[in-house]
Amino acid sequence: MATKKSTPAPKPKTVLVVPLAQAKEKVFRQLDKGNEISKMEMRNEEEYKQVKAKHRIWSDYTEQLLKQIFNTDEMARKFSGFFGVSFGGGEPPLHKRIELFRDDILRDLERLASIYEQLELFPVVPTGTLPNEELSDQPYKGSASVTIHNYGTIYNPQIRQGSQRSSQTITSVSVSDDIKGLLEQLVQEVEKISVGLPAETARQVKQDLNVLSEEAKSETPRKEWLQLSAEGLKKAATDVGEIGKPVLELVARIVPLLLAITKTQ
C-alpha cells in the first residue's frame, strides 16, 4: 500500500511584531551605527582588527534585532547574506584586506537600508515590545540622516514623526486661513533645515515648531510660549545660513499675527 506524501506546512507570512514606528527607529539606529563603523580609520593591523571586531558585534546585533521585530527569520537571513571573504594563495597585504572589508560593510549597509525601506510594506501584528533593555522605547539620539554609498539618504524617523505631528496639529488650527497657510509653509521649511542640523538640535527645533503650532491652535495663545518657541526657530534658522532665511521670514510674519490674537482675548 502506497503511503501518501505529507504536505509540508505553508510558510508563515512575514509580519512585524512591534509597531512600525518602533521598528523603523531600531533599524535606523543600526544603519547609523554601521555607517559610523564604515568611516573608522584603519591605519595599521591593530586598528583593522578593532574595527573588524566592532563590525562583527554590530552585524550579530543587527541580525538578532531583525529576528525580534519580525515573526520569521526571513529578513535576518536577507541581511546576513554571504559574510566574509576567503583568501586563496595566502593572505593579501593589509591595504587590500581593508579595501575588501570596507566593501563587506557597505554591502551590509545596503542590505539593511533595503530592509528599512520595505518595513512599511509588512503587516503589523504586535505581540509586545522588544524585551532587551538595549532595545528600549527611548528615542535614538543619533544622526539626522544616514547616506548609504550607492543607495541614497535615509532620514531619522524620529525627526520625520515630529514634522508629521506638526502637520496634523496645523490641519485643525482654529485661526484664519492666512495663518494656517503660513504655518504649513513653516513646517515644510523647518523640515528642510532639520536635515542639516545635529540630531539633538533638530529635535529641539521640532519641539519649538510643535509648541508654536499648539499655541496657534489654542483659544488663548500664551505670549511667552509663542516668543520662546519663535526664538528657538530663529536661532536654528540663523545657524544654518542661507537655507534658513525662509524660516526667519515666516516666523517674522506668523508671530505678530498670533500675538495680535492674544491682545484681543
Does pLDDT of 240 surpass 70? yes
d(CA 205, CA 124): 31
Q: Which three cell numbers stand for residue 104?
A: 563587506
Does pLDDT of 136 surpass 50? no
Q: Across-strand partners of 146?
A: 154
Cell 515648531 belongs to: 209
The pLDDT of residue 204 is 81
Residue 125 CB neighbours (<10 A): 11
**Between 236 and 178, residue with greater pLDDT:** 236
Residue 213 φ/ψ, nearest 5 degrees: -65, -40
Instruction: Tell me the average pLDDT across 3-22.
Output: 79
Does pLDDT of 24 surpass 70? yes
**Between 148 and 105, residue with greater pLDDT:** 105
Helical ranges in the chain per DSSP H: 20-38, 45-69, 74-80, 94-118, 157-171, 177-194, 199-217, 223-239, 245-264
Please write the tens of the pLDDT for every residue from 185-195: 888 888 888 88
Cell 542639516 belongs to: 196
- Determine the Cα angle at 250 with ends 249 and 254, to 5°: 125
In one-letter notation, the amino acid at residue 27 is: V
Does pLDDT of 171 surpass 50? no
Instruction: Tell me the average pLDDT across 77-86.
Output: 70
Confidence of residue 169 (pLDDT cuts 50, 70, 90): very low
d(CA 103, CA 57): 17
d(CA 250, CA 183): 8
Confidence of residue 158 (pLDDT cuts 50, 70, 90): low
Instruction: Report the percentage of the chain scoring pLDDT > 70.
Output: 75
Please write the tens of the pLDDT for every residue from 123-135: 998 765 544 434 4
**Between 200 and 71, residue with greater pLDDT:** 71
Which of 25-34, 73-82, 122-131, 196-205 is most confident? Answer: 25-34
Does pLDDT of 3 surpass 70? no
50 alpha carbon, distance to own chain's centre: 27
Residue 16 CB neighbours (<10 A): 22
The pLDDT of residue 82 is 55
pTM of the model: 0.56
Residue 10 CB neighbours (<10 A): 6
Does pLDDT of 72 surpass 70? yes
Per-residue CA distances from 244 to 186, 190, 214, 224 (Å): 11, 8, 22, 23
The pLDDT of residue 144 is 65
Q: How is residue 176 annotated by DSSP?
A: -
**Are the beta carbons of 156 and 199 closer than 8 angstroms?**
yes
The pLDDT of residue 173 is 43
Residues in the chain: 265
Instruction: Tell me the average pLDDT across 113-120.
Output: 91
Please, what is the end-to-end C-alpha distance for the chain in angstroms? 91
The pLDDT of residue 172 is 44
Three-class SS state of 133: helix
The pLDDT of residue 138 is 46
Assign residue 43 a region: left if phi > 0, alpha if psi is -120 to 50, beta otherwise?
alpha
Rg (CA), the chain: 24
